[in-house]
Amino acid sequence: MKNSNLYDQVIRVNCPATVANLVCGFDILGMALNAPQDTIEMRLLDRREIIIRHSDHYDLPTEPARNVAGAALIDLLEEVEEPVGFELTIRKHIKPGSGLGSSAASSAGAVVGANHLLGNRFNNNDLVRFAMAGEKVATGVKHADNIAPCIMGGVTLIRSIFPLDIVQLTAPPMYVTVVHPQIEVKTADARQILRKEVLLKNAIKQWGNIAGLVAGFLQKDYDLIGRSLEDVIIEPVRSILIPGFDEVKQGSRNHGALGGGISGSGPSIFMMSKDEAVAQKVEALMKETYTQLGIDFKTYITTLNEKGATVEVVA
Ligand code: HSE
C-alpha cells in the first residue's frame, strides 16, 4: 500500500535524454528520447534545506547553488511558503557534456519530482522557468530546448523564453540513432565559437527549414522532415569540433535515414529514421566510423519519448 503522506514518500523520477536544436532550430526546438535516462530518488524535508547526493562516478558538485538540480530547486522554493526542502540522490546515465541534455535531465527531473511532492501546484511553464536556473549554472545561459521536452515529452517549440511560450508539437513515430563519441565539447565553449551575426540569405534558408520541419512533424510528412533537417548557421561552425561528423551524416542519409546532425551542442550526433532496419544500418555505420577513427563511443537506438519525466512512488 503506497503511503499518502507526502513527507514519508520516496519517489523516483525518470528523466529522459533530449536532443536540442533538432538541427535547424537552435535554442527553439527539442525532443525527448526513451534512452538514455537518469533517475532521481527524492523525498520532502520538513525544513528549508536541499541535500544532494550522487550515486554515479561523475563527481558533480553537491552544493545546491552549484548543482543544476539544486539551482532549479532553489528557484522553485522561492515560490513555496511552507518551510520545506528536498533530499535527492541523482543517478546519471546521460553523461555530462554528451549533448544529450544531461544537465536538463537533472534540473527538469528535480522540479518535476518536487512538484509531485508538493501536491502538483505548479504548471509546466512554472517548471520550465525553475529548471532554466539549472541551465544557467551549466552553460551560463537560460535556454529551454532541452528542459521543455524533458518535462513535457515529445517535440517542443520554444517560441519565446521571455515571456515563456512553449508549443508542444505532434510528430510521427520515428527511430533515433545516436552516437556519442567520447570526446568533450563544453556547451559554453560550443556557444562561444558561434558568430554573432547571420547573413540574411542564410537566415531565410534557416527560417524555411524550421517552418518546414514543424509542418513536416504536424503533417507526418517524413520527406518534408528529411528535407528540412538542414542547418546553414550553427552546424558549419560546430561540426569542426566533431571528428567523423561528415562521414556519419552523409553515410546515414545514403542508408536511408531522414537526416539529423549535432545533438544539442555535441559531440553526440543523432539521425532520425522511419524504419528500425535503417536505424540499425545507421548504428553500424556510426560504429564503423568511430572504430576506424580510434575514438571510443557509445551508441543508442531509441524512439521519441512522449511522456517526459515521470514519477513513481517507491516507498
Ligand atoms: N541550444 C543549446 C545549444 C543546447 O545548442 O547551445 C545545448 O544544451
Tens-digit pLDDT profile for residues 291-307? 999 999 999 999 999 99
Q: Is the pLDDT of residue 314 over 60?
A: yes
The domain 4-169+305-313 is placed in CATH, from the list 1.20.1630.10, 1.20.120.420, 3.90.1150.10, 3.30.230.10, at 3.30.230.10
Please state the atom number of ligand 1 nearest to the C-alpha of residue 238: 5
In the chain, ranges of CATH 3.30.70.890 domains:
175-303
Question: Using a 6 Å cutoff on CB, does residue 156 contact ligand 1?
Answer: no
Asked if residue 268 lies in contact with residue 99, where contact means CB atoms within 8 angstroms, the answer is yes
**Integer Cα distance of 189 and 133 in angstroms:** 19
What's the gap in Å between 314 CA and the centre of ligand 1?
33
Give percent of the chain with pLDDT exceeding 90. 92
Q: Whose CA is nearest to atom 6 of ligand 1?
A: 265
What's the gap in Å between 279 CA and the centre of ligand 1?
24
Q: Whose CA is nearest to atom 8 of ligand 1?
A: 264
State the pLDDT at residue 7.
82
State the pLDDT at residue 3.
43
> Among 56-70, 72-86, 215-229, 242-256, which is the least confidently predicted range?
56-70
Counting ligand 1 atoms within 8 A of each CB, the residue from 100, 103, 187 with the most, and so the one to mutate, is 187
Please state the atom number of ligand 1 nearest to the C-alpha of residue 26: 1
Q: Is the pLDDT of residue 137 over 60?
A: yes
State the pLDDT at residue 1.
34
pLDDT per residue over 211-227, tens digit each? Answer: 999 999 999 999 999 99
Of 187, 235, 283, 302, catalytic:
187
Handedness of CA 193, 196, 197, 202 (dihedral sign): positive
Question: Using a 6 Å cutoff on CB, does residue 27 contact ligand 1?
Answer: yes
Look up residue 211 and give its three cell numbers. 517552418
State the pLDDT at residue 179.
98
Q: Is the pLDDT of residue 2 over 60?
A: no
Look up residue 200 and give its three cell numbers. 540574411
Q: Which backbone phi and psi does 16 adopt, to 5 degrees?
A: -75, 155
What's the gap in Å between 120 CA and the centre of ligand 1?
29
pLDDT per residue over 9-62, tens digit each? Answer: 999 999 999 999 999 999 999 999 999 999 999 999 999 999 999 998 888 999
CA angle, residues 237, 213, 176, in degrees to nearest 5: 75
What's the gap in Å between 268 CA and the centre of ligand 1?
12
CATH topology of domain 175-303: Alpha-Beta Plaits (3.30.70)
To the query of whether residue 135 is one of the catalytic residues in this protein, the response is yes
Question: Using a 6 Å cutoff on CB, does residue 268 contact ligand 1?
Answer: no
> Among 10-24, 51-65, 67-81, 253-267, which is the least confidently predicted range?
51-65
pLDDT per residue over 114-131, tens digit each? Answer: 999 999 999 999 999 999
Task: Identify the CA nearest to 266 among candidates 250, 247, 243.
Answer: 243
The pLDDT of 253-282, averaged and rounded, is 98
The pLDDT of 99-120, averaged and rounded, is 97
**Mean of per-residue pLDDT scores for the chain:** 96
To the query of whether residue 283 is one of the catalytic residues in this protein, the response is no
In the chain, ranges of CATH 3.30.230.10 domains:
4-169+305-313
Asked if residue 86 lies in contact with residue 117, where contact means CB atoms within 8 angstroms, the answer is yes
What single string gives the DSSP state of each residue in 105-138? HHHHHHHHHHHHHTTS-S-HHHHHHHHHHHHHHH
